[in-house]
Each structure stands twice: as structure tokens, then as C-alpha cells.
Amino acid sequence: MPLTIRSAFFPLLKDKVWGWPGHIIDVLAVVATIFGLATSLGFGAQQAASGLDYLFDTGNGINVQMAIIVGVTALALISVLRGLEGGVKVLSNINMGLAALLLFFVIFAGPTMTILETIWVTSSSYVVNMVPLSNPFGREDEAWFQGWTVFYWAWWISWSPFVGMFIARVSKGRTVREFIIAVLLIPTVITVVWMSSFGGSALEQIQNGVGTLAEKGLTDVSLALFQMFANLPLTGIISFVAIILVLVFFVTSSDSGSLVIDSITAGGKTDAPTAQRVFWAVMEGAIAAALIFGGGADALGAIQATAISAGLPFTAILLIMTWGLLKGLSHERKLLVARGEL
């Protein structure tokens, strides 16, 4: 079937997915994706600008952030034009290599035993607190609920159309079991190790009264990573690597997102005109720049509001999609049983 979100609804809607119900589904997917990517690019520009200012005293104002967005968009354009193999795959491999090097450096140069302990504490605490901290009803800490639960849920949901479709595209030929292991289990383990390593190192510094984080607290979220690095060896080098990593992460997000949006708007084709791919890559950068510029001093609030506005409406689509997935898998199983293949 065509590589679009509407195809996932075929078990429920049958041929109606090729009419207006399918159009609505794909339009919502495109809107959620483009604003979700713009949100990420806006945050990335803020963190990269803070890192450059921390290292080279370049300033971290709107002009610097806009320049970073232009640079990321330009690199994403080049990657999009080179295609999946020559662009996205090459950058992704470079990015994963840099991320692995930085992770191992922090583990072994930082408080190694504390990090290993934090991995266990983080995992067990997550399991224990996942449901209570996700409960939106009867909570006194409204700030937590609005600033973390709602925002991050909406942000992740806004990424779901393009991430799901992109991974499906590069996973063609894999079994469902292989897909679940590679997409859900392994990334979850890596995320726990990553968060425990960087977060554990920062918390260790705070508890021992070491560095800026201990003295002043979390005054600027975009600077926290570099303030933690200041108390590790080779501070300048690893801080610069981290900036490159942040930027390349958003380049790969932008180019892969552009390819997916391009596929959706082309009715599932993977060989749409080049001009169309260029248009979507430029649009992502333009929307991120508009959020930064229009938001002014409250750019963070504008970015968060955009993510929530784009992501939450797509929640209904995802819930219905799970029903369609179950129905489609059940139908597939019946066919295999009938053929004697299962």
C-alpha cells in the first residue's frame, strides 16, 4: 500500500481511505510533523547558541539562533537532495558514532560508579512513578503537569507520524518481532543509559557542591549540559562535540522528516519531484525561525504552545490507528492460518 498514514486505516475504512477521510488523516499528520520538527529545531537552536556563547562568547540572542536555523536548514536541504542512502544514512551514522563516543567519555571520565548506580535507580523509579506522574487528575503540582506531562506528550505525538513512517520505510522486510526489539526495546535501554550518565553526572556535581550547577542551580536549561561538562576533562573539546552533535541531530531529523512529509503529500510516492522536497525542508526552517523571532523573550513559551497545539489533535488519530493495527494483524493471522503457514 502507499507509504502514507491513511494506509494504516485501511482495515477500518477500506476504500474510504482514498477519499476525504484519508485526506483529513494525512493533512493532520503533515501539520503535526512539520510543527513538531519546527519545535525541535527551535529548541536545538537555543541550546546550540547557548553552547557557542559559553565556549566562544558569540552571544546567544535571536540573531545567532536564526543563523543556526538557516545553517541547519541548508545542511538538511543538501541531505534531502542526496536522498536516503547518500544523505540521511551518512549523517545518521556520523551522528550515532559521535553520540556513542560522547556517552562513553562521560561514563568513564565522570563518576562511573554513581552513573552505574543511577542507571538502576532511574529504571526502577521510572517503573514506580510512571503512572502517578502521568495522572492529570487531582494533582496539586499543576506546573509539573503542564510543563512536563502535557508538553512532552504532545511533542512526542507530533513526531509520531514521521518517525513511524520513516522507520517503517527503512525496516521493510523485517518481522514484527525484529521491529519491536529494534524500535522500542533497544532505544529505551539506550535512553535510560544516556539520561542516567548525563543526569547522574550533573546530580553528583550538585550534591557535592561542585561547579555552577551547585552554586546557582538550574538557571538556564540550554546551558546545563555545558555547565556539567565544565567539571570534566577536555571541557572545550567535548562541549564543541556536543554542539556539533545537537546540530547534526536536528539536521537528520529535518531531512528525514522532509522525506516523509514529501511522501505523504505525494500520495505515498517515494520519488516525488525534487522541488517538493526542497519546499518542505525550507518550510520547517521557516516555521522554526518564525517561532523564535515572533516569540521574542518568551520564545520558549511560543515553541511549547505550538507543539501542544499540533500534537494533541493527532492523539485521536493515534488511538484509532491502534484499533486499525489490531484489526489488520488479526486479519493477517487468519489468512496465514487458512494457508497453513501458521
Report the C-alpha gap between 327 and 49 in whole angstroms.
47
Tell me what pLDDT residue 299 has.
63
CA angle 184, 189, 194 (to 5 degrees): 125
- The conformational region for residue 232 under phi > 0 = left, psi -120 to 50 = alpha, else beta, is beta
**Of the candidates 257, 97, 92, the residue with the CA atom closest to the CA atom of residue 169:** 257
**Of the candidates 235, 248, 233, the residue with the CA atom closest to the CA atom of residue 97:** 248
pLDDT level of residue 176 (50, 70, 90 thresholds):
confident
pLDDT level of residue 88 (50, 70, 90 thresholds):
confident
More confident residue, 90 or 320: 320
Q: Which DSSP symbol is given to 87?
A: I
pLDDT level of residue 132 (50, 70, 90 thresholds):
confident
Query: Taking residues 294-301, what's their average pLDDT?
Result: 65
More confident residue, 298 or 115: 115
pLDDT level of residue 243 (50, 70, 90 thresholds):
very high
- Per DSSP, the residues of 119-146 read HHHHHHHHHHHHHHHH--SS-S-HHHII
Helix extents (H) in 57-88: 62-83
Return the biggest CA–CA distance within the chain. 69
For 37, list phi and psi in degrees, rounded to 5.
-70, -40
Q: Is the pTM of this model over 0.75?
A: yes
pLDDT level of residue 288 (50, 70, 90 thresholds):
confident
Burial of 141 (0-12, 13-18, 19+ CB in 10 A): exposed
Task: Count Cα neighbours of 313 within 13 Å in the Cβ-side half-sphere.
Answer: 16
